[in-house]
Amino acid sequence: MTRLEQQGAAAKEASRILATAGTAKKNAALEAIAKILAERQAEWLEANALDIAAAKENGMRPAMLDRLTLTPDRVQGIVDAVRQVIALPDPIGRVTKMETRPNGLIIGRRSVPLGVIAIIFEARPNVTVDAAALCLKSGNVCILRGGKEAFRSNIAVTKLMREALSSVGLPEDCISLVQDTSHETANELMHLDKYVDVLIPRGGAGLIRTVAKESSVPVIRTGEGVCHIYIDSEADLDMGANVLYNAKCSRPSVCNAVECVLIAEDVLEPFLKQAVPLLDEKNVELRCDGKSLDILGSRAVPAMESDWDAEYDDYILAVRTVKDVHEAIDFINRHSTGHSESIITKNYFTAQHFLDAVDAAAVYVNASTRFTDGGEFGLGAEIGISTQKMHARGPMGLEELTSSKYIIYGEGQVR
């Protein structure tokens, strides 16, 4: 057995215990985690300082450095998030669809944990705790594989969380960290079918595509966001400009930010006149098709073919003219990643048609794509935004981390 196989086997063993742990026990473990992270944060912060120093030496970009950095305030935020998970209802053990069949069998469907969830993520220390807390509350054991830049931080925080588990009598192996950050080990994890039930990659598009392609463990794809806003010929242009500005500029690095605006040709010029001055505030680079370029001139640059599938995660916006809602829908269904899509229109029928025909996790009428988020949707915390159609689609909260089993009460029935 390799080291990772041993870790997987231990996780599977732990999952048998955690799957039948009650709500009180799981909440006690979460409270113990919150407490130990608050009380012994120095251990975590010290390890993080070493990660930061190494990252600086390796010339990490300031934006990435900021993501990697822990502060007492940030730790407090993470601790608060754990306590919010405690407050959420337990998604395990709900029995739905229970009925008595004509032969007297009583058949119900009960929600159960998925089992062992592996999470591959990049250099954000808060993800380590967020993911572990959501898995724990939903009765799932997690195997965490973080980025190498945060390795020392992750070792420190995992050690604390495992101590907390022990202190309430749950197996330490309910939470574990992959003990090296090599590609070989990541690859081995993707093929640990025997012990891992689900794999969730959290990170850039490249990571996610690689994992989805390579993994023989079932994968949930999350967070790939090439999102569009379509400005209809019957749009309130003022609203459209505001929504576009918000969807692009409020946080361009997140997956629910808009990457491409589609504009009905009837309103192309007036819309651009309203929207561009707002986008100017953040110096948003505009990559335009021919018609919009004709209007914007030197304010814009010509789009290349690759711009129609680009996830910029930056102050860049692709701009394209379409004839009508049908062309917009057709374009979106060909180029979107199925994350979040929005139409701005006053026309009832156009709005309903867009809702029906666009194939995405979240389809909006007259609102910013930025709302696609577990908190905003009322799910509480989320482990990611699923952009696939199997198992879960859209923000994944605790319920989306469950499976089910049928329970059947009989009196000796045979068939």
Question: Least separation, in Å, of the C-beta of 333 and its own copies?
Answer: 6
Decide if residue 323 touches its own copies (CB under 8 A): no
Q: Return d(Cα 383, Cα 385) in angstroms, integer.
A: 7
Decide if residue 308 touches its own copies (CB under 8 A): no
Q: Which residue lies nearer to its own copies by CB, 42 or 355?
A: 355
Q: Which of residues 47, 129, 219, 231 is near its own copies by CB under 8 A?
A: 219
Tokens 């692709």 label which residue? 318
Binding region for its own copies (CB under 8 A) out of 118-126, 162-170, 261-269, 365-373: 365-373
Question: Least separation, in Å, of the C-beta of 246 and its own copies?
Answer: 4
Tokens of 405: 């089993």
Q: Return d(Cα 9, Cα 15) in angstroms, integer.
A: 10
Decide if residue 394 touches its own copies (CB under 8 A): yes
Q: Under rule CB under 8 A, which residues in 31-50 are in contact with its own copies?
A: none
Assign 240 to helix, strand or coil: helix
Q: Which of residues 261, 370, 383, 396 is near its own copies by CB under 8 A?
A: 370
Task: Please give the sequence-ordered ranges of beta strands (E in DSSP) within 101-156, or none if there are none.
Answer: 106-113, 116-121, 141-145
Q: Which residue lies nearer to its own copies by CB, 76 or 216?
A: 216
Q: Which of residues 231, 243, 264, 318 is near its own copies by CB under 8 A?
A: 243
Q: Which residue lies nearer to its own copies by CB, 158 or 369?
A: 369
Tokens of 361: 């996790």
Decide if residue 410 touches its own copies (CB under 8 A): yes
Q: Which residue lies nearer to its own copies by CB, 111 or 153?
A: 111
Containing 79, the helix (H) or strand (E) segment is helix 72-87
Single-letter amino acid code for the residue at 27: N
Decide if residue 372 touches its own copies (CB under 8 A): yes
Decide if residue 378 touches its own copies (CB under 8 A): yes
Tokens 């989306």 label which residue? 400
Measured CA to CA in angstroms, residue 126 lies from 53, 91, 107, 150, 264 at distances of: 18, 23, 41, 10, 42
Q: Which of residues 130, 156, 393, 396 is near its own copies by CB under 8 A?
A: 393
Question: Quick count: other Cβ atoms within 10 Å of Cβ 39?
Answer: 11
Question: Least separation, in Å, of the C-beta of 316 and its own copies?
Answer: 20
Question: Least separation, in Å, of the C-beta of 100 and its own copies?
Answer: 10
The answer to whether 381 and 81 have CB atoms below 8 angstroms apart is yes
Q: Which residue lies nearer to its own copies by CB, 149 or 259?
A: 259
From residue 4 to residue 23, the character string flagging contacts with its own copies as x (rule: CB under 8 A) and all else as - is ------------x--xx---
Pairing of strands 340-344, 385-386: unpaired
| Chain centroid to CA 29 | 24
Decide if residue 155 touches its own copies (CB under 8 A): no
Q: Which of residues 194, 282, 323, 389 is near its own copies by CB under 8 A?
A: 389
Q: Under rule CB under 8 A, which residues in 98-127 are in contact with its own copies?
A: 99, 101, 105, 107, 109, 112, 114-115
Measured CA to CA in angstroms, residue 313 lies from 223, 227, 310 at distances of: 12, 11, 9
How many residues belong to the chain?
415
Q: Under rule CB under 8 A, which residues in 175-194 are in contact with its own copies?
A: 193
72-87 helix and 125-137 helix, angle to the nearest 10 degrees: 10
Alpha helices (H) in 168-289, listed in sequence order: 183-189, 205-214, 237-249, 268-280
Q: Which residues bind its own copies (CB under 8 A)?
A: 16, 19-20, 99, 101, 105, 107, 109, 112, 114-115, 193, 197-198, 212-213, 216, 218-220, 236, 239, 242-243, 245-247, 250, 333, 355-357, 359-368, 370-372, 376-378, 388-391, 393-394, 403-415
